[in-house]
Amino acid sequence: MEHYHEINEALSTLARLADEQENLFIENEGEVTPETEALEAQKEALKALLSGDGIDILGRWLKSKEDEKDTYKAEKAAIDRRLKSVQNTIDFIKAKITEVLAMIGKEKAKGLMYAFTRSKSVTTKVDTEELERLYLDIATAAAREAGLPEYVTLKLDAKVSLVPEGDDLPDVFVVNEKDTVRFTKPRKTKED
């Protein structure tokens, strides 16, 4: 960051020297004088500094930030993998508890601190391939007719919450239902 200030200072000085030189040219009706030549030499020295060391300073700074970004991306990917692994383990444990409850013929089981209740997990997802197969050409043609340029593409999405209550679920939705459990754990004390 310290070099950033040096570069900013050099840019500011370069702008100030250019203004001074322009003012001298105006005062001297465009005549080149020893003062305008001195200002030109100072400007050229600053430009050489900025185009040499300055570029390298900015390049190192940019590279360090790109490296930092890559590190964060790698860390995020590792965390995402770890979260997926933990979620898979949670799903496995719930499946095992569901199996235990089914084998002992109970809907609920309570231990000293934990309790489980059998339940159904229902998830609804959009079948994007089916959605696009049914409606993308129609939507694209209507959009083109309305003036949508060729370089603009469409992406379709559907929301189960927008299906009118009581209507059958359209074929673009896939419903998955599986046995699972609700998990009750001890409440945290106020001190926690």
pLDDT digits 0-9 by tens, 143-162: 999 999 999 999 999 999 99
pLDDT at residue 38, rounded to an integer: 86
* DSSP code at position 122: E
Domain match, 24 and 64 both:
yes
Q: Which pLDDT band holds residue 3 (cuts at 50, 70, 90)? A: low
The residue whose two tokens read 């409850």 is: 101
pLDDT for residue 30 is more than 70: yes
**Report field, pTM of the whole predicted structure over 0.85:** no
Total domains, the chain: 2
pLDDT for residue 180 is more than 70: yes
Query: How far is the first Cα of the chain from the last one, in angstroms, to the nearest whole number?
Result: 42
Domain match, 71 and 110 both:
no
The residue whose two tokens read 């074929």 is: 171
Asked, for residue 112, whether it belongs to a domain, the answer is yes
Which of 101, 102, 103, 129 has its CA nearest to residue 115?
Answer: 101
Count of CB atoms situated within 10 Å of the CB of 156: 15
Give the domain range for residue 163.
106-184
H/E element, 160? none
Q: What pairing do the DSSP bridges indicate for beta strands 173-184 and 108-110?
A: unpaired
* DSSP code at position 69: H
Q: Which pLDDT band holds residue 191 (cuts at 50, 70, 90)? A: low
The residue whose two tokens read 């159904």 is: 120
Asked, for residue 26, whether it belongs to a domain, the answer is yes
The answer to whether 109 touches 182, Cβ cutoff 8 Å, is no
Q: What is the mean pLDDT of residues 85-103?
A: 95
Q: Which pLDDT band holds residue 192 (cuts at 50, 70, 90)? A: low
Domain match, 18 and 74 both:
yes
pLDDT at residue 8, rounded to an integer: 80
